[in-house]
Amino acid sequence: MNEAVKHNLLGLDAEGLARFCATLGEKPFRVRQLLRWIHQAGEADFASMSDLSKPLRDKLAQTACVAAPQIVGDTPAEDGTRKWLVKVDGANAVESVFIPETSRATLCVSSQAGCVLDCSFCATGKQGFNRNLTSAEIIGQLWFANKILGVERRADRIISNVVFMGMGEPMLNLDHVIPALRLMLDDNAYGLSRRRVTVSTSGVIPGMDRLRDECPVALAVSLHAPNDALRDELVPVNRKYPLRELLAACQRYLEKAPRDFVTFEYVMLEGVNDSEALAREAAALAGRVRCKYNLIPFNPFGASGYRRSSPERIRRFAEILQRAGVTVTTRKTRGDDIAAACGQLAGDVADRTRRSARLALKEVRP
Ligand code: SAH
Ligand code: SF4
């Protein structure tokens, strides 16, 4: 059987693997063995799966494969952050970022090649959208990271936290994001707790409700503005799902969430959303849903047209929130010397929406 028509087992969660095993006439306990081999041992060759019978290994080799996307670039930053360029097909590559800290090691994964939502300050949005990643391509980023780091550091499963803050909007690709999340949480695979896996969304409400019902993990919402007029401009999806509805969706999410707060991400753009008046509005908004603010100093890229707020401005904004009793952290910029910081990820996306062409046209018009 040709590789292209073999079933790729990498992206199948326990339920998917159980269905696959049933088609081979195999018992459900094989699922646990396969998960452990594939995700804990990082094994892609069925012949090496020594506790499976020889006939089963042969059957698997004929009908299935464990195929991860290829890593085609590996860039280390001064601060230990590391960016991997992951080739998902002939035309598209996405990026994953490894962020080591003293007490944890976080992997930031991508969920789509590009993004349709076009937030005004985001490099991924500017390059347009090509396609959703498959669950194998999403979990493949974690599979590879553990494999590479494991070999280098002689340890298993180094990644302790995963954040869906790379390229793409995870709530627009839940069919593939949910099986990948289930693998991250499965004790036979990566065994991460729900609190250590965070999905970040720009506020796609139907997706938030579905995630809440099917696989609630920690939630971050890219707020960036405390009123609709400004948010419509910065995060265009706000025109479809305005703040009042977004806050109600956050409330619903919290009923099932592993943490009792939502993290509001707030990119600090000089002269745009960083005034004291807006800080007070942001503080008032915190009275409507249990939340913490995470201020993200804007990470510049190409011709974004924005500048990062000064440290003094960011400090003042944080202070106003704190004085109002709101918990606030300021994200340390990591990996910006290799364009691996939030919003700088661009990979290599063949834009099916032709947005880049439209943008280019707009730029040359008088
Ligand atoms: N699409 C999802 C997840 C990916 S973006 C979302 O928007 O939430 C991850 C985070 O980086 C989001 O909060 C996003 O708004 C932020 N971000 C995007 N561009 C940025 C930039 N240039 N500088 C700093 N943060 C940025
Ligand atoms: Fe898409 Fe998130 Fe970038 Fe907005 S910030 S364009 S939703 S990836």
In this predicted structure, what is the pLDDT of residue 151? 72
Q: Taking residues 82-102, what's their average pLDDT? A: 92
How far does the centroid of ligand 1 lie from the alpha carbon of residue 2, in Å? Answer: 39
Q: pTM value?
A: 0.94
pLDDT tens digits, 10-27: 999 999 999 999 999 998
Pocket of ligand 2 (CB under 6 A): 115, 117-119, 122, 124-125, 168-169, 202, 222
In this predicted structure, what is the pLDDT of residue 4? 59
Between 366 and 244, whose confidence is greater? 244
In this predicted structure, what is the pLDDT of residue 364? 41
Going by C-alpha positions, the residue among 91, 95, 139 that lies closest to residue 338 is: 95
Ligand nearest to the CA of 113: 2
Q: What percent of the chain is modeled with pLDDT above 90?
A: 78
How far does the centroid of ligand 1 lie from the alpha carbon of residue 74, in Å? Answer: 22
Task: Give the C-alpha separation, 12 to 64, whole Å.
Answer: 12
Q: Tell me, using a 6 A CB cutoff, whether residue 267 lines ligand 1.
A: yes
Task: Give the C-alpha separation, 341 to 332, whole Å.
Answer: 10
DSSP lists the bridge partners of residue 199 as: 164, 219
Between 126 and 262, whose confidence is greater? 262
How far does the centroid of ligand 2 lie from the alpha carbon of residue 351, in Å? Answer: 15
Q: Tell me, using a 6 A CB cutoff, whether residue 200 lines ligand 1.
A: yes
Could you identify the atom of ligand 2 that is nearest to the CA of residue 200? 2
pLDDT tens digits, 178-194: 999 999 999 999 999 99
Check whether 348 has a pLDDT greater than 90: no
Binned at pLDDT 50, 70 and 90, residue 365 comes out as very low
In this predicted structure, what is the pLDDT of residue 316? 98
In this predicted structure, what is the pLDDT of residue 106? 95
Q: Taking residues 108-132, what's their average pLDDT? A: 92
Active site residues: 95, 342
In this predicted structure, what is the pLDDT of residue 2? 58
In this predicted structure, what is the pLDDT of residue 142? 97
pLDDT tens digits, 274-311: 999 999 999 999 999 999 999 999 998 888 899 999 99
